Amino acid sequence: MFRFNPTRLCDARVYNRLTGEELAEAVGVKKQAISQFENGKATPEYGTVCKLSSALGFPVEYFYEQDDSLLLGNTYFRALYSSKKKDLNSQRIKTSYVARIYGSLAKYVNFKPFNVPDFSDTRDIPKVARSLRNYWGLGQEPIQDMVSLMEHQGIIMSEFATDSAKIDAFYQYSEINKIPYRCVVLGTEKKSFARRQFSCAHELGHIVLHEKYDDLNDIDRDDFRKREDEADAFAAEFLLPREAFLADIEVHANRLNRYVELKRKWKVSISAMVVRAYHLGAINVNQYQYLMRQISQNGWRTNEPLDDFFPLRHPKALKQAVNLILLNNVLSGNELISEIKRGGMSLPKSVVDEVLNLDPETIVIDENDTKDNIIQFVELKRP
């Protein structure tokens, strides 16, 4: 028996970043009605569901599907306290869709298995970063592409517009039918390759260091800031290993041009390297403050030298999976969307395109595809 799923209505509204009042106005019902529908205190008539479907851009079936076992863990936003709540909630929903789509694609392609050891037995952050570098065979060398590195280690990477310059990347843990999904999403608003390198390493720090089930709403600003600082410390050690980086800055560590030169090698922003040099004791507080003032005066807070030299790296695994399935005629565009639906969620093509950052022409929907039609023309009989 089909039952209206109030959670799906809430998710679709949040995905669209609409308030209950805005949705009510679009559908032609009272604001209280939307609240009652989402809280399960009232069930909308089928005609009302059709209006909700049209207003939100989700098929009618989406609102009647029953959710399987879903555990949505922490979502680490660096701008948790400075971003609008509706922006953050929208990104949470989008990322949960990424996990759903990944699960459907995994039936047809072999993604890299998750390959991050458990470091819960130590709180020595530099040691954890060095251990992970050694485990992945990175030695002391610069990391050329954090996005590719993380995808090769089985971390789900996606990219989409977050509608906020403050949300440049975030990490979300979830479980669907007890299968874990670790998703890192990169915002499309910021275009700096070097800053994206650090953002990826920062989110990797959350994966490695922090409990995935804690409710971040239950911790105060100081505790949250501590976790963010820990992720930054991990990223600094992971991208700029102590011995190798100190060897590079032992001469002219107090000269800004030296960090411009080193940006070519380490693929990390100039400001991040200056902060790292200060934390390692290579420059004193006065030298650090002087260098940071120079960075500000040069306008490098937003655009640094060489930012245009390095092309931005993008997640590839999910896009490659979709293309492999389609180009090898394993599934048609219609069948791929149907496969996601069979996974328990009827997502429209527009949503799949958005959360995977696909070109709109990648998945082609053939409106004349009659494979799913029950009634078809019989073959004409010849006289």
Statement: residue 184 has pLDDT above 90: yes
Q: Tokens for 301?
A: 């807070």
Copy the structure tokens of residue 43: 């069930």
Residue 8 clears pLDDT 50, i.e. is over it: yes
C-alpha span between 301 and 292 (Å, rounded): 9
Segment 47-58, tens digit of pLDDT: 999 999 999 999
Indicate the residue type of 192: S
**How many of the other CB atoms lie within 10 Å of CB of 299?**
9
The answer to whether residue 324 scores a pLDDT higher than 70 is: yes
Q: Can you read off the two tokens belonging to residue 143?
A: 């990391």
Tokens at 149, concatenated: 């590195």
Range with lowest mean pLDDT among 172-181, 240-249, 304-313 = 172-181
Distances (CA, A) of 349 to 5, 240, 358: 21, 41, 10
Q: What are all long-range contacts of 299-303, with beta carbons under 8 Å and residues at least 24 apart?
A: 300/270, 300/271, 301/271, 303/192
DSSP letter (8 states) at residue 63: G
Whole-angstrom distance, CA of residue 152 vs CA of residue 112:
6
DSSP for 74-94 reads EEEETTTTTS-HHHHHHHHHH
pLDDT, average across residues 356-368: 89
Give the pairing of strands 179-187 and 169-176: antiparallel
Reduce the secondary structure of 260-316 to three states and give it as a string: HHHHHHHCCCHHHHHHHHHHCCCCCHHHHHHHHHHHHHCCCCCCCCCCCCCCCCCCC
- Ordered domains of the chain (ranges, CATH): 6-63 (1.10.260.40), 70-297 (no CATH)
Per-residue pLDDT at 337 exceeds 80: yes
Tokens representing 286 are 């006065």
Q: Which residue has the higher pLDDT, 274 or 79?
A: 274
Beta strands in 307-375 (DSSP E): none
**Mean model confidence pLDDT for the chain:** 90
220 or 348: which leads in pLDDT: 348
In sequence order, what are the beta bridge partners of 77?
A: 170
Local confidence band at 372 (pLDDT 50, 70, 90 cut-offs) = low
Going 130 to 133 to 139 to 144, the CA torsion angle's sign is negative
pTM of the model: 0.90
139-143 average pLDDT score: 96
